[in-house]
A = this chain, B = another copy of it.
Amino acid sequence: MPPRRQVPETKRRVPRQARSAETVALILEASAQILEARGLAGFTTNAVAERAGVSVGTLYQYFDDKRAILVALARQEVEATLTELRKATTAPEEATVEGRARAAVRAIVNGFRGRLRARKAVVQAVLAQGSGVEVMAPVAAFIAAQPRLLLPAFTDVQLFVLSRALLGTIRAAVLEEQPFFRSRAFEDELVRLIAGYFRAIIAT
């Protein structure tokens, strides 16, 4: 005989005050730490609350669900990486295909610095739930926003392959803990992969 919520009606409180925003940040940070230290399996609401130094009740004041925490975390990571990417790809000096590719590769690889396990868990969890599309939306927006001079008339499939080949390879290196992950050689190959694909498309 569970609570049996009839008409949910009221949404979870949106943090408006400074104190609240702080609490939310605390919870997200705690979540990342738990994920990093114990993986997805150890990511329990009680563990998160304890680590964040708040009660479970507080946690549920700000998040509808355990899922919601993961989604928020994912969004935060995506946003951070996109910010890096934006910064990197708008630098005027990187005008060549290789130059831009290298800037992008670096931004992403650097984005993966630290909290690898947490990132992995977040990615897994978000994919495991249906929330993938929701979280990936900003990425798609970012890609679509690229000046068409550089990505001349790319199809959706091409954009997909381009982005996932890059991200997928980096993720694999992270997950498999490849020693060359942060090496120049790895960076070079990624640039070659991207630039090669670019050239192949244009050549058609």
Binding site for B on A (CB under 8 A): 1, 3-7, 10, 37-42, 47, 50, 65-67, 120, 124, 127-129, 132-133, 136, 155-158, 160-161, 164-169, 171-173, 175-176, 178, 180, 183, 185-186, 189-190, 192-193, 195-201, 204
Counted per complex, copies of this chain come to 4
Q: Give 5 pairs: A residue, B residue, CB < 8 Å, sorted on A.
A: A6-B39, A157-B189, A165-B168, A165-B193, A168-B172
In the complex, A88→B106 CA distance in Å?
Answer: 35
Q: Which residues of B contact A50 (CB under 8 A)?
A: 10
Given A161-B190, A168-B172, A193-B196: 15 more A-B contacts, CB < 8 Å: A6-B39, A10-B50, A120-B127, A127-B175, A127-B176, A132-B175, A156-B180, A157-B180, A157-B185, A160-B178, A164-B172, A168-B168, A168-B171, A196-B198, A197-B197
Q: Which of A65, A197, A204 has the most B CB atoms < 10 Å from its CB?
A: A197
A66 — which chain B residues lie within 8 A by C-beta?
1
A98 nearest CB across to chain B (Å): 10
Q: Tell me the bound Cα distance from A166 to B165 in angstroms.
A: 7
Name A173's contact: one of B40, B65, B128, B164 (CB within 8 Å). Answer: B164
Q: Would you call the interface of chain A mostly helix, strand, loop, or mixed?
A: helix
Q: Provide the residues of chain B in CB contact with A40, threshold 8 Å.
A: 128
Residues of B within 8 A of A198 (CB): 196
A6 / chain B contacts, CB cutoff of 8 Å: 38-39, 41-42
Q: Which of A1, A42, A195 has the most CB of B within 10 A?
A: A1
Name A189's closest neighbour in chain B (CB-CB).
Answer: B161
Q: Among the interface residues A6, A7, A133, A161, which one has the most CB atoms of the partner chain B within 10 A? A: A161
Residues of chain B with a CB closer than 8 A to A7's CB: 37-38, 42
